[in-house]
Structure 1
Amino acid sequence: MSYPTVRNRRLRRTSALRSLVRETVLSANDFIYPIFVTFGHNIKEEIPSMPGVYHLSMDRLEEEIRDVIAAGIQSVLLFGIPEHKDAIGASAYDANGIVQQAIRAVKEWAPELVVIADTCLCQFTDHGHCGIVHVHEATGTAEVDNDSSLDLLVQTAISQAQAGADIIAPSNMMDGFVLAIRDGLDEAGFSDIPILSYSVKYASAFYGPFRDAAHSAPQFGDRKTYQMDPANVREALREAESDVAEGADMLMVKPALAYLDVIKLLKEQFDLPVAAYNVSAEYSMVKAAAANGWIDERAVVLETLTGMKRAGADLIITYHAKDAARWLKGEE
C-alpha cells in the first residue's frame, strides 16, 4: 500500500503522539561526566578551549560531585593532572597519586556514584605518550614499547581499583592491554571490577582541547602507531574482537560524531555494552557556535546525543552531561 492509504504524518500530528512512538529515548542514566582533577588548593580554573569545563583541586572537587548528583548523573570519569611527570609516568600508579586521591574522596562523599578511572600514562609522562618510550641505539629513533608498557598499565589499574574505582577504563591502545589488566586485577583480588575498554580509539584531530586540559600532548611525534587510522573500519572490528576475547566487559568508540557507523557496527557485532566518547573538540565546536549565536545549543546537543544513542551507544561520555541532564528534566 502507498499514499493516500499510507500517511506517515499521522503519527507526527501532535507532541503526545510523537512521544508515544519515539524509538530512541535519551536519559541522564546514559551519561558519564568527565572531570579533571589537579594538585593545589582552591583551584577551579576554566579550561580556555572547553568553556564550562574546569581543572579542580581536591578541595573544590566535592562541590562538583554534588552538582553532578543534583543533575541526576550516575557516573563520572576521572582524569588527573599530576604535579610531577617523568619518563615512566610513576604518578599514574602511585597509591597517593592525584587520581587515586580523587577516587577515594568521591567514594567517601558519594558511595552510590559509579567512579570510572581512566587508565593511561600520557598525562603522567614527561614525553606525553601512552607508554614507555625506547630509543634505538642504532638509528636514534624513539618508539613506544608495547610490552614493557603493559606492566605499568597493570600497576596503574590495580592502584586505581585499590583506591575504590568501580570501573577501570584503559585508554592506551597497546596490544594486549585488556588481557594484561584483566589478569592483573584478578590476581590482585579485583575479579569483580569491570573493564570499559577504549577498544576503538582513533588517532583523531578531535582531541585538541582535551590535550590542553590534560596537559598530555606528545612532546615528539604522534600517536598514529598505536591509535587507529580514521579511514579504517574493519580494523575496528579486529580491535574490538581482541578486547572481547581478552575479557573486556564494555567496549568504547572514540571519538563519536565522525564514527557513528563504527558505533553501529560494534553494537551489531557484539553483545557487550557499547560506549561512545563525545570528545573535547565535538563539545568545544558546539560551545563556540552557540557563543556566536549560530546555533541553538540545547537543541543541537540533545539531537547529537540522541544520534549517538540511536547509532547503538548504551553509554555516552560527554562534557555536555550536566547541561543535557537538566535539559531533559525541563530545566533551563
Structure 2
Amino acid sequence: MTTYSGRYPASRPRRLRQNNWIRSLTRETQLGPGDLIWALVVHDGAEDEVPVSAMPGTARLSVRAAAGAAKRAATLGIPAIAIFPHIDTRKKNAHGKEALNPDGLVCQAVRAMKDAAPDVGIMVDVALDPFTDHGHDGLLENGAIVNDETVKVLVEQAIVQTRAGADIVAPSDMMDGRVGAIRAGLDAAGHQDTLIMSYAAKYASAFYGPYREAIGSGKLGSGANANPGDKRTYQMDYANTDEALREVALDIAEGADLLLVKPGMPYLDIVARVKAEFGLPTYAFQVSGEYAMIKAASANGWLDEERAIIESLSAFKRAGADGVVTYFAPKAAALLGA
C-alpha cells in the first residue's frame, strides 16, 4: 500500500467526518445482522424463560421458546444460532452420559428450531461440561482430565447432535486430536457435509463466570472432582499467542472448516493473527463476561449500551473476524436494521 503523504492545510481528514452520509461512505468496517451468531441457552424446564441473574436481559429458554427464537432470528436476518444447554442436575454424572441422549435437551431443541426456521443454521457445542457433575469439559480420572477417552465420547456426542439436525458442531473442549476424530466419525456416519467450527484458540479466562451460572456448571463436584473454574490443563494460557497459531494449524489439518477465538475483546490480537496467517473463516466469541460488563456499566449510567454494543461488535470485524458469536445478537440486529 502506498504511504499517504498528504499535508495540512491542503489535506484535512475531518472533511471525511463532517456528516453521517460521508462517514457511511468512507467506513472501512461494515457490520450487519449477517455477521452475527446468536448465543442462546436452552433449559429442560417448563417455563419459557428463566432469567440468568449474572447476565441481565438474558434468559434460559424452553424448547418451545427456542423455536420461537429461531423464527425471530430469521426475521432479524441473523443467519445462525449457537445453543448451550442447562439440564436438570439429576441428569448429570461423572461421565456426562446425558450428552449422548438422542432425545435429550440439545437434540430436542435442534429439531424444534430447525422445524421452526429451516434456513437458520444451528450450531451445537461439543463438550461435556454442561453434563458432568464435576463441571469439567472432559472425563476425570484421579483428578486429571483424560484426553483420548474424552475424545471418544465427544465423537459420539457430535454424531448424535448431527443426526438431530445440527448444521455446525463446535468442539469447545480443547482436547488434543478431537477435530480429526470428530471429522472421521461424522464422515463414517454419512455426515460429510456437517461443518466443524473449532474453538481453535480457547483461553482459560476469567470472563466465563456468568456463563457457568447460565448452564449450571460453576459450583459442582467436591474433593478431587471439584471444579473451581480452573481449566488450565486444557484451555490455553492467556499469555500466549504463538501457541494459538499452533493450535489453529493442527485443527485445520484435522478438518476444521471454521475457526473460533474465545474470549473475544481481550483477544483481538489473536483474531487478527489467526485471520492473517490462515485466511479461513474466523470468528470471535463475545463471551458472557464481556456481555455482563457492558450490561452492568450501562445499568449504572456509565456507558451508552446501544453504542457500546455496536462499537464492540465492530471491533471484532475490524480485527479481521468474519462474524461474532454474541448474546447481544437480537438487540444488535434490531439496531443495525433500524
TM-score per shorter chain, which class?
Answer: over 0.9
Equivalence map 1:21-40=2 (5 Å): 21-40=26-45
Quote the offset at 1:96 in angstroms: 0.8
Partner of 2:160: 159
In the alignment, the residues of structure 1 paired with residue 270 and residue 99 of structure 2 have an alpha-carbon distance, to the nearest angstrom, of 30
Instruction: Answer whether contact 1:37 1:78 (CA < 8 A) is retained.
Output: yes
Counting matched residue pairs gives 324
Quote the offset at 1:152 in angstroms: 0.2
Instruction: Answer whether contact 1:115 1:166 (CA < 8 A) is retained.
Output: yes
2:137 corresponds to 1:125: no
Give the 4+ runs in structure 1 shifted more than 4 A: none
Q: Partner amino acid for 2:168? A: I
Instruction: Answer whether contact 2:87 2:215 (CA < 8 A) is retained.
Output: no
Deviation sequence 1:132-185 (CA, Å, 0-9, x none): 1011xxxxxx10000110000000000011000011111000000100100110
Instruction: Answer whether contact 1:82 1:97 (CA < 8 A) is retained.
Output: no
Q: Partner amino acid for 2:145? A: V
Partner of 2:170: 169
Q: Partner amino acid for 1:185? A: L
In the alignment, the residues of structure 2 paired with residue 225 and residue 261 of structure 1 have an alpha-carbon distance, to the nearest angstrom, of 23
Partner of 1:327: 335
Instruction: Answer whether contact 2:260 2:283 (CA < 8 A) is retained.
Output: yes
Equivalence map 1:202-241=2 (5 Å): 202-217=203-218, 219=221, 220=226, 221=228, 222-241=230-249
Partner of 1:303: 311
In the alignment, the residues of structure 2 paired with residue 146 and residue 208 of structure 1 have an alpha-carbon distance, to the nearest angstrom, of 24
Equivalence map 1:227-266=2 (5 Å): 227-266=235-274
Quote the offset at 1:39 in angstroms: 1.1
Equivalence map 1:58-137=2 (5 Å): 58-83=63-88, 84-135=91-142
Partner of 2:182: 181
Q: Partner amino acid for 2:7? A: S
What is the TM-score with the length of structure 1 in the denominator? Answer: 0.95
Instruction: Answer whether contact 1:39 1:58 (CA < 8 A) is retained.
Output: yes
In the alignment, the residues of structure 2 paired with residue 153 and residue 81 of structure 1 have an alpha-carbon distance, to the nearest angstrom, of 18
In the alignment, the residues of structure 2 paired with residue 303 and residue 61 of structure 1 have an alpha-carbon distance, to the nearest angstrom, of 27
Deviation sequence 1:91-123 (CA, Å, 0-9, x none): 111111110111111111111110001111000
Counterpart secondary structure, 2:192? coil
Instruction: Answer whether contact 1:254 1:277 (CA < 8 A) is retained.
Output: yes
Quote the offset at 1:4 in angstroms: 1.8
Equivalence map 1:37-52=2 (5 Å): 37-52=42-57
Q: 1:55 aligns with which of 55, 60, 69?
A: 60
What is the TM-score with the length of structure 2 in the denominator? Answer: 0.94
Deviation sequence 1:235-289 (CA, Å, 0-9, x none): 1111101101111001110001100000000010012100100000100111011
In the alignment, the residues of structure 2 paired with residue 186 and residue 63 of structure 1 have an alpha-carbon distance, to the nearest angstrom, of 31
Instruction: Answer whether contact 2:70 2:120 (CA < 8 A) is retained.
Output: no
Moved more, 214-223 or 16-25: 214-223
Quote the offset at 1:60 in angstroms: 2.7
Instruction: Answer whether contact 1:87 1:132 (CA < 8 A) is retained.
Output: yes
Partner of 1:138: none
Partner of 2:18: 13
Counterpart secondary structure, 1:192? coil
Q: Which runs of 5+ in 2 are unaligned?
A: 1-5
Instruction: Answer whether contact 2:128 2:173 (CA < 8 A) is retained.
Output: yes
In the alignment, the residues of structure 1 paired with residue 181 and residue 67 of structure 2 have an alpha-carbon distance, to the nearest angstrom, of 33
Quote the offset at 1:14 in angstroms: 1.7
Q: Which runs of 5+ in 1 are unaligned?
A: 136-141
